[in-house]
Amino acid sequence: MALSAPTIDAARRMLERARCATADLAELRLDHLTEASALLDANSAVFAALCRLVRERPLPLILTLRPEEEGGRCSFALADRARFWGQLRAHGAMPEFIDLELELVEALRADDLGWSSVICSHHDLLGAMEDLDALYERMARTPARIIKIAVTAHDALDCLPLFRLLERAQRERRELIAIAMGTGGIATRLLAHGAFLTYASLERGGGTAPGQVWIEDLIESYRLRSIERRTPLYGVIGAPIGHSLSPAMHNRALIEAGLRGVYVPFETGDGRAFIRRLLHPQTREVDWHWRGLSVTAPHKESVIECMDELDEVAQRTGAVNTVVVRGRELHGYNTDVEGFLAPLRGLLDLAGARAAVIGAGGAARAAAWALRRAGAEVVLFARSPERARLLARAFELDVARLAGARFSSFDLVVNTTPLGTRGAHEDGSPVDAEQLRGARIAYDMVYNPPETRFIRQARQVGCRTVGGLHMLVEQAAWQFELWTGRSAPRQAMLEAARQALSERSARDE
């Protein structure tokens, strides 16, 4: 548990909360204290309060005084930091562990610091270093018991050197903490088998470094304590990936079904390289026990060439959103189509129905093909008809200009554009209310927020509405069934998705 507190009293309260949250130990960032400068004075009230806190700590403790050059807030010179640790030791207030930067460890290596409690650390906030082995070897030459290397991952592929380093440390029987900060590095917080520890945040969306996972999610959703080297692994790739509800849905589904496994988000800009280097059984560089992968934007089309076999829907739509690992092969599927159709069953007989699809991207392609296969007459509406003509030719669709269009003659109007999405296009809608008047059903594939402007406009003029959340759950349920051969707990997945959306909305406000 990584803790940031403005005062010693606040730190004490946080340590109690960390104990109640079942953390094994807590790291207290002393450089985050408002009066951190007073720590240099052994006669100050702040120093005395810290000593009392250490002696009375409710759980094992790591103390850290991170300098600015490694991402901290401490402006003390190296000599001042060395003096602080010496004073703390002289007052008999040493915790289980202290985190010292490599430069400080090398300067103090001749001193009697109690090296079995020292974490020798290095932090790089700019990116992933090219030669981590050389850094590791330099740190291994110090008397510190534990080595910590934290870099920044802009892509999940940046984590590969850290996983290789963990394997080396295990062979050499060295205790190592290997962390990649940022959204791209979450795998190092969940799948770093053999690492000495991982860090969690006390608050959802909080933490002392980018990418820290809330402790409740870490323990209850990801089930960190039960993850082993042979734990079945599932995941999702995309860019960006932080908005994805898939981890919440699939981890809840695994728990409800009583299955071992963990589902992890991987942010990557190169889906093909990810599949080649981390997923495909014949070429992957880390020995993980993969069972399946979800694929989201912008990789659904590019990963097709990485598949050993494709189902008919993936072939016809030109997009893969689900990968199943079978033996030494990857099988690609598209569950978006079935997910799209499921909420319409019981609402509309698609055979002979007139359907308007707004948009011309990948989502429009899946929706149009699904509707055509079900027997609907489909018209594609786009701001620029020229952009839609390639898709129209592929599925023999009519194309119409969106500006000024009226949908009163349509049984179904589908928004496949991102307009209305929270955080990016939330106030947008591809049409106005009057355009929708007279249509029977309005279907928005946007799921966050659950009620978009498009949905509100449709209700205003009497349309029946379908939101994107049910489609999201259905496509995920089909993924789960492909991977596990078990019936998906759809209601639990829907509840998990709604809870995640609610929590994000509360944070945004």
The per-residue pLDDT for range 294-351, each reduced to its tens digit, is 999 899 999 999 999 999 999 988 999 999 999 999 999 999 999 999 999 999 999 9
CA distances from residue 290 to 172, 264, 389 in whole angstroms, order as listed? 27, 11, 39
Which residues, 6+ apart, have CB-to-CB distance to 455 below 8 Å?
Answer: 420, 442, 444, 465, 467
d(CA 83, CA 90): 10
CA nearest neighbour of 438 among 374, 356, 370, 366:
356
d(CA 232, CA 230): 6
Predicted confidence at residue 97, as pLDDT, reads: 97
Helices (H), 172-242: 186-190, 215-216
Q: How many helices (H) and strands (E) does the chain have?
A: 18, 21
Share of the chain above pLDDT 70, in %: 98
Phi, psi of 272 (to 5 degrees): -65, -40
d(CA 305, CA 323): 12
- Band (pLDDT 50/70/90 cuts) for residue 458 is very high
- CB–CB of 300/249 below 8 Å? no
Lowest mean pLDDT among 22-31, 253-262, 357-366, 437-446: 357-366
Predicted confidence at residue 70, as pLDDT, reads: 87
Angle, CA of 233, 481 and 300, to the nearest 5° = 70
pLDDT at 386 over 80: no
d(CA 16, CA 246): 32
- CB–CB of 226/193 below 8 Å? no
d(CA 119, CA 100): 6
Q: What is the mean pLDDT of residues 267-296?
A: 97
CA 222 to chain centre: 11
| Mean per-residue pLDDT over the chain, rounded | 93
d(CA 43, CA 108): 24
Which residues, 6+ apart, have CB-to-CB distance to 485 below 8 Å?
Answer: none
Angle between helices 132-140 and 160-171 (to 10 degrees): 30
Predicted confidence at residue 306, as pLDDT, reads: 97
CA nearest neighbour of 438 among 409, 467, 466, 416:
409
- Band (pLDDT 50/70/90 cuts) for residue 506 is low
The tokens describing 141, both together, are 């030459």
Predicted confidence at residue 505, as pLDDT, reads: 74
The per-residue pLDDT for range 187-223, each reduced to its tens digit, is 999 999 999 999 999 988 777 888 899 999 999 999 9
CA distances from residue 257 to 230, 250, 251, 486 in whole angstroms, order as listed? 19, 10, 10, 8
- CB–CB of 282/265 below 8 Å? no
pLDDT at 383 over 90: no
Strand 322-326 relative to strand 329-333: parallel, antiparallel, unpaired?
antiparallel
Predicted confidence at residue 509, as pLDDT, reads: 56
Top pLDDT among 270 and 391 is at 270
Which residues, 6+ apart, have CB-to-CB distance to 62 below 8 Å?
Answer: 25, 26, 27, 28, 95, 96, 97, 98, 99, 119
| Residue 177 bridge partners (DSSP) | 148
- CB–CB of 189/179 below 8 Å? yes
Q: Of 300, 365, 372, 470, which residue is the catalytic one?
A: 300
- Band (pLDDT 50/70/90 cuts) for residue 227 is very high
Q: What is the mean pLDDT of residues 393-417?
A: 92
Which residues, 6+ apart, have CB-to-CB distance to 400 below 8 Å?
Answer: 379, 380, 381, 385
Is the full-model pTM beyond 0.85?
Answer: yes
d(CA 440, CA 460): 13
Q: What is the mean pLDDT of residues 153-167?
A: 95
Predicted confidence at residue 507, as pLDDT, reads: 67
Predicted confidence at residue 390, as pLDDT, reads: 79
CA 451 to chain centre: 24
State the sign of the Cα–Cα–Cα–Cα dihedral 145, 151, 155, 157. Answer: negative
Taking phi over 0 as left and psi of -120 to 50 as alpha, with beta for the rest, 346 belongs to left
Beta strands in 73-226 (DSSP E): 97-101, 118-123, 146-152, 175-181, 200-201, 213-214
148 is catalytic: no
Lowest mean pLDDT among 64-68, 123-127, 227-231: 123-127
Beta strands in 321-418 (DSSP E): 322-326, 329-333, 354-358, 377-382, 398-401, 412-415
d(CA 443, CA 438): 14
Beta strands in 268-374 (DSSP E): 290-295, 309-310, 322-326, 329-333, 354-358
Predicted confidence at residue 456, as pLDDT, reads: 96
CA nearest neighbour of 143 among 94, 100, 109, 99:
109
pLDDT at 164 over 90: yes
Three-state DSSP at 115 gives helix
pLDDT at 403 over 80: yes
